[in-house]
Amino acid sequence: MNLTERFLKYASFDTQSDEASTTTPSSRGQRILAEEIANELRGTGMQDITLDDNGYLMATLPSNSPEEIPVIGFIAHLDTSPDMSGKGVAPRIVKYSGGDIMLSPPSAAGPVENPAILSPDVFPELNKYIGQEIIVTDGSTLLGADDKAGIAAIVSAMQYLCENPEVKHGAVRIAFTPDEEIGRGADRFDVERFGCRWAYTVDGGEVGELEYENFNAAVARVTFKGLNVHPGTAKGKMRNAGLMAAEFAALMPEEMRPERTEGYEGFYHLVDISGNVEEATLTYLIREHDRARFEACKELLRTLCGRMSAGRPGSVAVHIKDQYYNMSEVIKQNMHAVRIASEAMEAIGITPVVKPIRGGTDGARLSFMGLPCPNLFAGGHNFHSRYEYLPVRSLELCKQTIIKIIELL
């Protein structure tokens, strides 16, 4: 099958990860997709194909070169985001001629009442793809280009190299991991068994993206304890935890909300608010590229909690857990990996776009586990939403970049 067919096939698997699950992988669909990919790899000439009990799939492209070439790897993740359903994905290929794309097709009962529309007025990047084929959703699910585009490009690149032995290369390792979207993708990754000098996660966005910096990340849960009595006799007695939570949220710096930041600017992201008079909880994601500023962000949260506790002892508690760190601390000691990827892109006519990730990848944690992992583009846009789309040409360029990196070693 060709590259586009392979992606469409993978997109049909429901692999949405589940943060509430205690298993690995967190959803059965990830395992089913991994088994399907393993079967494909067996038919390509790949070797050492292993799928462990936790859903980590690894395989080897054997060296066909007499030279000593470092073993490198390529990694993508099996799951799709819990932010939007990945069940029953119905992709279609559109030859884009500009303007709006109606994602929600009319039903037998007539036009859809509130159709999903992919519009360049909202997503101006669409204008880059006029005249090209793009893969879109039907407006009811995400597409799954994050990261099934990465998987498809890696598998297709390996198939190409197996079928074209005249292209000399060293040994290459590939891995497909579960549960990246819920922050567990590196939890049980066996770096020693993978056996690479460095690797690339293929989990980025549009063509040319090459990333080796990401946020330092933490999650903070601020809990407020109240005192509930009948409101008719509450004077001087009631402490409303819900109101304390609202007061705390108002103290947080407005300029550090995600919708007001870009580039290297960090943020506090209020992702969940729950509670009542007795107890209320705010959950924040803390993100900052600079480690010192990251620590200062956490300290500010603790300071505000202390301020809220003044005069109300025991009413406020905060728990902060670090999630991952900026991989640039590791990659800057291994910049050859970035240089080779940049040269590979330039060799096939792509201008590298080196920029920080305003998020994280498996590569961030893997880098600190001893496997430096810059991130390559996979070609998609608008991840985690019904507006996700994937230009066919971008997917092909992802595959070509992987092949060229291997050739240049």
DSSP state letter for 180: G
Please say if the pLDDT value at position 106 is more than 70. Answer: no
Q: Are residues 20 and 109 in the same domain?
A: yes
pLDDT at residue 111, rounded to an integer: 58
pLDDT bracket for residue 104 (50, 70, 90):
confident
Q: Are residues 267 and 378 in the same domain?
A: no
Given 14, 18, 40, 79, which residue is catalytic?
A: 79
Q: Are residues 191 and 110 in the same domain?
A: yes
pLDDT bracket for residue 359 (50, 70, 90):
confident
Q: What is the CATH number of the domain that holds 164?
A: 3.40.630.10
Q: Are residues 156 and 69 in the same domain?
A: yes
Using one digit for the tens of pLDDT, what is the confidence trace for 13-32?
A: 999 999 999 999 999 999 99
Whose tokens are 């799954």? That residue is: 144
Which has the closest alpha carbon to 285: 336, 327, 324? 324
Tokens of 44: 């390509």
pLDDT mean across residues, the chain: 95
Q: Are residues 144 and 202 in the same domain?
A: yes
Write the Ramachandran bin of 382: left for phi over 0, alpha for psi from -120 to 50, otherwise beta: left
Virtual CA dihedral for 30, 33, 38, 41, nearest 10 degrees? -130
Which residues partner with 324 through β-bridges? 217
DSSP 307-326: HHHTTSTTSEEEEEEEEE--
Q: Are residues 203 and 220 in the same domain?
A: no
pLDDT at residue 311, rounded to an integer: 77
DSSP state letter for 342: H
Q: Are residues 230 and 92 in the same domain?
A: no
Using one digit for the tens of pLDDT, what is the confidence trace for 108-136?
A: 545 566 789 999 999 999 999 999 999 99
- Count other Cβ atoms within 10 Å, centred on residue 238: 15
CB proximity list for 246: less than 8 A, separation 6 or greater: none
Q: Are residues 139 and 40 in the same domain?
A: yes
Which run of H or E residues covers position 160? helix 145-163
CA distances from residue 389 to 183, 222, 334 in whole angstroms, order as listed: 23, 37, 33
Please say if the pLDDT value at position 314 is more than 90. Answer: no
Looking at residues 258-262, what average pLDDT do you find? 95
Q: End-to-end CA distance of the chain: give it in Å, rounded.
A: 28
d(C-alpha 288, C-alpha 267), whole Å: 7
What pairing do the DSSP bridges indicate for beta strands 209-211 and 353-354? parallel
Q: Are residues 13 and 122 in the same domain?
A: yes
Q: Are residues 175 and 241 in the same domain?
A: no
Question: What is the count of structural domains for the chain?
Answer: 2
Q: 295 an active-site residue?
A: no
The answer to whether the CB of 398 falls within 8 A of the CB of 221 is: no
What is the three-class DSSP state of 267?
Answer: strand
Tokens of 343: 């040269």
Longest dimension (CA), the chain: 86
pLDDT at residue 341, rounded to an integer: 98
Q: 272 lies in which domain range?
A: 216-324
CB proximity list for 108: less than 8 A, separation 6 or greater: none
Which of 271, 298, 324 is the C-terminal boundary of a domain?
324
Looking at residues 158-168, what average pLDDT do you find? 97
d(C-alpha 372, C-alpha 221), whole Å: 31
| 128 residue type, one letter | K
| 179 residue type, one letter | D
Q: Is the peptide bond before 147 cis (omega within 30 degrees of 0)?
A: yes
Which of 324, 358, 377 is the C-terminal boundary of a domain?
324
Q: Are residues 226 and 366 in the same domain?
A: no
CA distances from residue 63 to 67, 71, 253, 383 in whole angstroms, order as listed: 9, 9, 54, 35
pLDDT at residue 112, rounded to an integer: 61
pLDDT at residue 64, rounded to an integer: 96
Q: What is the CATH number of the domain that holds 319?
A: 3.30.70.360
Please say if the pLDDT value at position 319 is more than 80. Answer: yes
pLDDT at residue 386, rounded to an integer: 96
- Count other Cβ atoms within 10 Å, centred on residue 273: 13
d(C-alpha 110, C-alpha 324), whole Å: 48
Q: 79 an active-site residue?
A: yes
Residue 74: phi and psi, rounded to 5, are -135, 135
d(C-alpha 381, C-alpha 378), whole Å: 9
Cα 405-146-195 angle, rounded to 5 deg: 45
Q: Which residues of 11-40 are buried (b: 16+ CB within 10 A; e: fewer)?
A: bebbbbbbeeeeebbbbebbbbbbeebbeb
What is the three-class DSSP state of 228?
Answer: coil
pLDDT at residue 107, rounded to an integer: 59
pLDDT at residue 360, rounded to an integer: 81
Q: Are residues 221 and 196 in the same domain?
A: no
Tokens of 355: 């920029």
pLDDT at residue 119, rounded to an integer: 96
Looking at residues 90-98, what average pLDDT do you find? 97
To the nearest whole percent, how much of the chain has pLDDT over 70? 98
Given 14, 40, 180, 362, which residue is catalytic?
A: 180
Using one digit for the tens of pLDDT, what is the confidence trace for 201-242?
A: 999 999 999 999 999 999 999 999 999 999 999 999 999 999
- Flag whether the pTM goes above 0.75: yes
Which run of H or E residues covers position 221? strand 216-225
pLDDT at residue 361, rounded to an integer: 83
Please say if the pLDDT value at position 62 is more than 90. Answer: yes
Which of 324, 357, 379 is the C-terminal boundary of a domain?
324
DSSP state letter for 256: G
- Count other Cβ atoms within 10 Å, centred on residue 388: 25
